[in-house]
Each structure stands twice: as C-alpha cells, then as structure tokens.
Structure 1
Amino acid sequence: MTGEQRSLPVPDGLDGMRMDQAVSRLFGLSRTVAADLIENGGALVNGVTKQKADKVAGGAWLEVTLPPPPAPPTIVVENVEGLRVVFADDDIVAVDKPVGVAAHPSPGWTGPTVIGGLAAMGHRISTSGAAERQGVVHRLDVGTTGIMVVAKSEHAYTALKRAFKEREVDKRYHAVVQGHLDPFSGTIDAPIDRHPQHDYRFAVMSGGKPSVTHYDTLEAFPAASLVDVHLETGRTHQIRVHFSAMRHPCVGDLQYGADPTLAARLGLSRQWLHARQLSFVHPTTLEQVTFVSEYPSDLAHALELLRDVQ
C-alpha cells in the first residue's frame, strides 16, 4: 500500500540537520520510522535519494512518501499464563499481572495482554475508552509485575479514571535500586518527557510533565536497596526514570543504565520493580479496598541472593 506523498522546502531553521532528524521533525515521525523511510528511498532532496546521516540544506526541496497509517490494534482473546484474578465483582476486576504481559494492545506489540486474558476468562469489560484499551484506567509496563485494576462497568470506569486523575488512588511499588539512596527516605520531584534521542525511552526534561515520586528505604544490602515507592503522579516509566536520574537505577533495568553484571549475578532479565499494593474507594460500595501482590519468583530469588551476601 502506497502512503501519502508530501513535499515542501526545508525550513532555514533546519539547515545542517541530519536527514532522519529533519524528516522526523517535519512530519511528526519517530526517528526510527524516519530512518527506515529514508533507507527505503522514501525521501528525496531536490529529486535525489539521501542517506539518513546526510545533512539537509535550508531551502532544498524535500519530497517524502509517508508510510500508511498502522492498522488499529485489536484485542486477541487468549488465555494468559500466570494472569491471576485477585478480586472481581460487577464493577471492577483486580489482577496480578505477570511479566511479559501488556495492559492492552498497542501498535507493534504482538504478545499477550491483560484485556485479552480477562476476555478469555469471561469477564465483561467496560466499553469506555479507545477500542483496544476499553476498561483500562491505568497501566503497568510489560516488564513490571503486580496489581492492576480494570473497570467492568461504565460507572466504575468514570469513577476510577477521575480517582486516578485526582491522585486519590494510593499506588505502592517495591523496587530494588542500585546503591544506597541519600537520604534513605525522600521525594523526587522532576518533570518527565520523551527522551530526545531514544524511542521508547523517557527522561527527566525541563519542559516535561510534572512527576513526583516518594520513597522509603525498607532494607539496605551491600550493592542495592529495597525501597517502598509511593507514586503521586503516574507518568510512563516514572519510577525507572526517576531512580535512573538519581544514579540509582532499578536493578536489572538495562534500558535505564543498570549494571548488567549485577543483573546477571542475580538472574534478572528485567527491572526489579513490582506493583505491590493498590488502594482506592470502590466506585459503588464507596468502601476503601486494598489489593496486595506477592513478589513473583524471579524477584524473590534475586532478593534472596542480595540478602545472602550480607
């Protein structure tokens, strides 16, 4: 399928910029998509194909064949190994999410999802929200395990979305971070935005969204610390970004600068980060409910190894 044809002069403000950066900036594409487009001959400057690292000149005529829009992701109904329902009624379902499972379908993700797994179990989910993430009021990263709640009724969806937005939901995570935090308990208040150079990563950025993380050290080991984390906001990768910016990345989180040697010694193939507890007012009974998740085997094993070297 042929994409849309677009052409325009290169603005003077982009003079001297790399070709992939310029195409990314002008057409709102990720750097990866822009680079692929250029390498496949989908971008011409004054009628000539260029390499992604070539520099563009202000005023040059740029012609681009934009890729067709991706098909909207669809929910695949399938049994998800390890996905466990902790609580369910007519309004909500709380699940213990295993590693390697996304909250909902998204472009490029072909693995299992919480929504698909719940559908396979026979749970009817709220139809509010985009088609591929109906009922989803908050998310956990694919590599993060633990408690997650999904709305089953439209009333619950509206009430829980508001509660998360108004910061009325108590979200507690446990993380093992490298080194020892100074102070042992504190608050990280640093805005977060997409990383300017790396797709799928985020970073502390001066113009980012306000992001606040509270933490308390629960246990200190020679090489790392177990911390209880209370999220005031809920940005993508917030805990991972904040502790990485403090130079105490989550153990095993190679994407955000963790030590691969320590990760290998502990047998970790992902970040030591677990959604431990979720507390909120039930949308119908108006009673406070709390759901807790125990550590999965890989995180528990890594913690035992850290304690053994005391």
Structure 2
Amino acid sequence: MSLEVFRFTVDPVDQGKRLDAYLSERTPFSRRRIQEMIREGAVRVEGASCPRDRRLRAGESVEVEPPPPGEAAPRPQHIPVKVLYQDRHLAVVSKPAGMVVHPAAGHLDGTLVNALLAALDDLAGVGGVMRPGIVHRLDKDTSGLMVVAKDDATHLALQDMVKDRRLRRSYLALVHGVPTTRLGTVEAPVGRDPRDRKRMKVISSGRPAITHFEVRESFPEAALLKVDLVTGRTHQIRVHMSYIGHPVVGDPTYGKRGRLEGELGLRRQFLHAYRLAFFHPEGGEEMVFEDPLPEDLSEALERLRSTSFRR
C-alpha cells in the first residue's frame, strides 16, 4: 500500500526548530511515530537522513515517506553489484541502470540496498532500517558510483561532506545539440513542478542549484559532456541540461525520444556517474574512484562516433 509522501520547505520563522517537533506540527503522525520514521530513514532533509534533534535552517527541503504499515526491513538478495572498494568504514559501489537505490512503495525488492545487504558486512541499520548505509542517491535509470557508509559515524561524516560540497561527483552525459561554449555553468534554482509533483523544474521558489559542464566530444547532433555537480538536487543534471536547450539523450521526462535514440539503440538516459572523490572520514586520505561507461552507453557512443563526423 502506498502512503502519501509529505514535502515541506522550511520557512524563516521555523529556523532552528527541531526536526521532530517541526514535523509533528505538520503531519498527522505523533511525535513518537515521527521519531521512529527518522530512525528508519523515512525522513530526509536535503535528501539525506539525519537525527531527530537536527535543527532546521530556512529554505531546507524536508521529505517524509512513510513506510506501509507492517513493512519489513529489506532482506539481503544476491544480486550482482560491482564493489570497487571497501573497508570497515565504507564501500564504493557501481549501481547498474534500472535498479532503484532503496526499497519504497512499488519497489520492495531488487534494490541496491537488497544487493548491498548480501554483498557487504555490517551494513544493516546504519542510517535507518529502510536505507542502510545510503548517503546519496542516483535515479533508477542513471548508472554509476555511490559511496555507502558501514557505521553511523561514517554515515554522518559523509552526509556532512555532501552538504558542504566536499563529496565531488562527476558524470558523463550525452546531450542533444552542442553547447556554444566548451566550458559552462548552469546556476538556476530547482524545485518541484507545481503542475506535476513527480517532476522537477527550474523555478524561482526552488533550491539553489549549480552545475558545471565541459564538452568532451562534439558531433553534428549531440555532445558528450563531463558534468560536475556543485549541489545535488533531485534530477539536477537532467533539469539543467533541458533548461539550457540540451536535454540528456534518452531522457523520457525532460527530453523526448526521437530518431537519435533509435539509431543509438538507447533504452534509457545517457547519464553515468563515472567519478567520485572525497577524503576518507577516518584516515583523511584522498579517495578517487572512476567507473568506465557501462556496455549499453559505451556501445551507443561508439555507434555515434562511427556514423558522425566529429567537429
């Protein structure tokens, strides 16, 4: 059974209020139930789970996704997932396209969390029952690198890195058309589309969002971009690229499927989180990981190279 998802933006008058107190005033749940959902990872501030006594700041987004009554904790499932690195504090994994990150209504099994519970030790319960170890997310049809925490202290430290923009994430994206400059920045606020709550859009009431891009290769009808996220809003790259007139190839939500997608054999958006860099929360050493394009995107790119005259 799917329950209503509650979404709020913190007003200046609520600056400094405790998370559990704030939600008890705005949802039909008791403060005790809200605290339980916070522990289960069903409450997120700026897309990340956090403690119940977290003090809110004006403009932050708060989301409550109540689990269905009686929903069991995710079960380990032996689903292939590539683990690039792990130690006793964290792991770096590559999520395949088509896989949801964590269980939710309509996706109770077959998620990355189910796979990680079987592949990694000491993960259950870290950061919430339903989203153990999850620090940041990727869209279902976006592939690539994610870092996963294996203890609570590391989970909090990595979340702080996301919030303070010290977790550096780079993507490869194929977009329609060719930007007029080799290097560019899109700085435009992103928020929920008031006419379709499942979509995001550039909107004045949205949260600040910054995306840098660099043209790596250009073709007559498309360009391969390296994209760096400064902020990490939901669907940010896809929304920003569409906003500047260069939607991600294969994106059914913010672009449209056309002749190019058919010629390249693309069945999903050409977007891959290929590079992840951060300083280890325990030892302080710099950790840099890269993940090559998966087979479907690599084949599409080679097909484009073989049929186009590069500029």
Shared fold, TM over 0.5: yes
Cα shift readout 1:16-49 (whole Å, capped 9, x = no counterpart): xxxxxxxxxxx99xxxxxxxxxxxxxxxxxxxxx
Task: Write the letter of the residue equivalent to 2:78.
Answer: N
Distance of 1:110 and 1:250 partners within structure 2:
29
Cα shift readout 1:250-289 (whole Å, capped 9, x = no counterpart): 0000211234221111111110000010000001111000
Query: Is the 1:188–1:213 Cα contact (8 Å) retained in structure 2?
Result: yes
What is the count of residue pairs matched by the alignment? 246
Task: Write the letter of the residue equivalent to 1:220.
Answer: S
Secondary structure (helix, strand or coil) at the match of 2:274 reads strand
Residue in 2 that maps onto 1:53:
none
Task: Write the letter of the residue equivalent to 1:91.
Answer: H
Distance of 1:224 and 1:98 partners within structure 2:
24
Between structure 1 and structure 2, the one with the greater Rg is: 1
Following TM superposition, the consecutive aligned residue runs of length 4 or more in structure 1 with deviations greater than 6 angstroms are none
Residue in 2 that maps onto 1:148:
146
> Is 2:134 aligned against 1:103?
no
Secondary structure (helix, strand or coil) at the match of 2:130 reads helix
Match of 1:212 among 210, 213, 216: 210
- TM-score normalized by the length of structure 1: 0.75
Residue in 2 that maps onto 1:80:
79
Query: Is the 2:74–2:109 Cα contact (8 Å) retained in structure 1?
Result: no
Residue in 2 that maps onto 1:55:
none
Shift in CA distance, 156/259, structure 1 to aligned 2, threshold 3 Å = same
Secondary structure (helix, strand or coil) at the match of 1:254 reads coil
Distance of 1:287 and 1:302 partners within structure 2:
36
Residue in 2 that maps onto 1:132:
130
Query: Is the 1:73–1:107 Cα contact (8 Å) retained in structure 2?
Result: no
Distance of 1:204 and 1:239 partners within structure 2:
11
Distance of 1:76 and 1:255 partners within structure 2:
31
**Structure 2 runs not aligned, ≥5 long:** 4-26, 29-65
> Is 2:116 aligned against 1:118?
yes
Shift in CA distance, 205/295, structure 1 to aligned 2, threshold 3 Å = same
Residue in 2 that maps onto 1:299:
297
Distance of 1:271 and 1:73 partners within structure 2:
32
Shift in CA distance, 231/122, structure 1 to aligned 2, threshold 3 Å = closer
Q: How does 1:12-23 map to 2 (within 5 A)?
A: none
After the TM superposition, which of the residue ranges 135-144 and 103-112 deviates more from structure 2?
103-112
Shift in CA distance, 69/175, structure 1 to aligned 2, threshold 3 Å = closer
Q: How does 1:191-270 map to 2 (within 5 A)?
A: 191-270=189-268
Root-mean-square deviation (CA, aligned residues, Å) is 2.1
Q: What is the percentage of aligned positions where both structures have the same residue? A: 41
Query: Is the 1:211–1:234 Cα contact (8 Å) retained in structure 2?
Result: yes
Cα shift readout 1:74-115 (whole Å, capped 9, x = no counterpart): 41321223x110001000011011111121112222452221
Deviation of the 1:69 alpha carbon: 7.6
